Amino acid sequence: MAAIGHGGKQIVERILGPDEARRRIHGLTQVPIRSQIANEVIGISYGFFSPIEGFMSKADVDSVCRRMRLAGGIVWSIPIIFDMTDADIAGYGIQPGKPVVLTYTGNPMALFEVEEIFTYDKRAMAQAIYGTTEAKHPGVARTYEYGDRFIGGKITLLNRPKINEPYTGYFIPPLEMRKKFEERGWKRIVAHQTRNVPHTGHEWLMKGAWSQTYAELPIDKPYVGVPVNAIIGEKRKGDYIDEAIILTQDELRKAGYFGDHNHLTSLTFWDMRYAGPKEAVFHSALRTNLGVTHHMFGRDHAGVGTYYGPYDAHQLLATIQNELAITPVYSMNWLYCPHCGEVTSEGLCNHKSEWQKFSGTLIRSIVDDGVKPPRLIFRPEVFDLTMECAEQYGFGSPFVTDEYLEKRIPVFSILPL
């Protein structure tokens, strides 16, 4: 059965075998790429970003900025662009019609069929995607740092990434992911987007979404699964380290808060843009390609600071609902009520004056103070594993430090072809 992804298009991996790859790159100019572009090469070639087959042309970028659609009309919210300086374009002799080999960490990674070189007003792009031109917005800052020219063209992977420990097993591309869903017999699948070590607010967000999604399905066996899809990409100081994020998310399953029958942790390579509502639309496309049927969206999904209202993402998704293949599942905040003695939803409990709200930031402050949070807030297995990750991978800290940025184990490597 064909794997149909976002926009109703079949997902096709754009990957060559090693022999053909070696043959195709012979004599081509090699162009090194940075990690953001390498992440996106993987996203394009494995079908995470289907129907996109390469870095966008000017027509696509303009259409995404102006209409939140690809030039062909399919909903798409964030430009996938290859930027370069004039000097590099001249230095590498890049020209339309002349393919080049993209290299990462010195080894061939992808074939780039250069079709177009163009400029685009970066301020206009920032305003269109992020709703602001302020450089303190991390997505806007990223946009302003791009080279002044953009190159559009198809991408084909030449060399599959070697996923390094402890991430092995968590890189599950769309076609493989769909097989896993089928093996588990899940009829509805509700994705959880994360870039955090989970506290029980996250856990109950997932459990609540599981119940919402289950609805009228039969209960002779569990038919709903929760794939946790962690965004792994550029880190900022103070974030949880990647190892802790991926391993603790899976620990919720291993420690029995979920099980094999309803939980699966995986990762997607992507540098967060913090585009709020536009990133929510991007997540819809991405997870549609992974084969999910539903997607959780909480307050201020993928936002930053006070740039977006708490429900802006929900409102934007509502405008395109009939063009998306997933059903959004919205959730109110989960909090601790000492009167109930449990984590509950603000939509359920009425002991409002007693509520104890908590957030990832608050839990980080507890951990920073050398305190083990109560199990109702942070599972002990998750806490212990977070601390183990700090020792094993984080140079003593579960949070990103300068030392971690300098010495961390890369999530993937591109080996010689």
Minimum Å gap between C-beta 341 and another protein is 9
**Cα distances (angstroms) measured from residue 164 to each of 50, 63, 75, 374, 387:** 25, 37, 34, 33, 21
Residue 306 or 322 with smaller CB distance to another protein:
306
Amino acid letter for position 51: P
Residue of the chain from 310, 347, 380, 396 that contacts another protein (CB under 8 A): 310
CA nearest 252: which of 263, 241, 242?
263
Residue of the chain from 108, 373, 394, 398 that contacts another protein (CB under 8 A): 373
* Residue 359 binds another protein, judged by CB under 8 A: yes
Positions in 37-96 near another protein (CB under 8 A): none
Minimum Å gap between C-beta 310 and another protein is 7
Minimum Å gap between C-beta 365 and another protein is 4
- Helix, strand, coil: what percent of the chain each, to 5? 35, 20, 45
* Residue 141 binds another protein, judged by CB under 8 A: no
Residue of the chain from 95, 119, 164, 365 that contacts another protein (CB under 8 A): 365
Minimum Å gap between C-beta 106 and another protein is 34
The span from the CA of 234 to the CA of 415, in Å, is: 21
Taking CB under 8 A as the binding criterion, the range among 22-30, 94-102, 170-178, 367-375 that sits at the site for another protein is 367-375
Positions in 230-249 near another protein (CB under 8 A): 237-238
Within 13 Å and on the Cβ side, how many CA atoms surround 99?
A: 14
Residue 368 or 391 with smaller CB distance to another protein:
368
Taking CB under 8 A as the binding criterion, the range among 46-54, 217-225, 357-365, 380-388 that sits at the site for another protein is 357-365
Residue 370 or 416 with smaller CB distance to another protein:
370
Taking CB under 8 A as the binding criterion, the range among 21-29, 188-196, 202-210, 373-381 that sits at the site for another protein is 373-381
Taking CB under 8 A as the binding criterion, the range among 38-46, 120-128, 169-177, 368-376 that sits at the site for another protein is 368-376
Q: Per the structure block, which two tokens stand in for 126?
A: 């920032």
DSSP state letters, 282-342: HHHHHHHHHT-SEEEE-TTTT--TTSS-TTHHHHHHHHTGGG-SSEEEE-PPEEEETTTTE
Counting residues that bind another protein (by CB under 8 A) gives 26
Minimum Å gap between C-beta 243 and another protein is 20
Residue 153 or 276 with smaller CB distance to another protein:
276
Within 13 Å and on the Cβ side, how many CA atoms surround 322?
A: 1
* Residue 300 binds another protein, judged by CB under 8 A: yes
Residue 67 or 357 with smaller CB distance to another protein:
357
Residue 336 or 393 with smaller CB distance to another protein:
336
* Residue 374 binds another protein, judged by CB under 8 A: yes
Q: Quote the crossing angle between the two packed helices 277-290 and 174-184, to the nearest 10°.
A: 70
- Tokens 């493989």, located at residue: 176
Contacts of 401 (CB under 8 A, 6+ apart): 237, 394, 395
Strand boundaries in 176-287, DSSP class E: 188-194, 224-232, 263-269
- Whether 118 contacts 59, CB under 8 Å: no
CA nearest 41: which of 98, 91, 103?
103
Q: Per the structure block, which two tokens stand in for 18?
A: 């090693």
Taking CB under 8 A as the binding criterion, the range among 122-130, 273-281, 287-295, 351-359 that sits at the site for another protein is 351-359
Residue of the chain from 368, 380, 391, 413 that contacts another protein (CB under 8 A): 368
Within 13 Å and on the Cβ side, how many CA atoms surround 126?
A: 19
Residue 145 or 354 with smaller CB distance to another protein:
354
* Residue 322 binds another protein, judged by CB under 8 A: no
The span from the CA of 119 to the CA of 101, in Å, is: 22
Give the H/E segment covering residue 182. Answer: helix 174-184
Residue of the chain from 4, 141, 366, 387 that contacts another protein (CB under 8 A): 366
Taking CB under 8 A as the binding criterion, the range among 33-41, 71-79, 277-285, 353-361 that sits at the site for another protein is 353-361
* Residue 339 binds another protein, judged by CB under 8 A: no
Minimum Å gap between C-beta 199 and another protein is 10
The gap from C-alpha 12 to its chain's centroid, in whole angstroms, comes to 20
Kindly list the residues in this chain that would bind another protein in the complex (CB under 8 A): 237-238, 299-300, 306, 310, 333, 336, 338, 356-359, 361-362, 364-366, 368-371, 373-374, 376-377
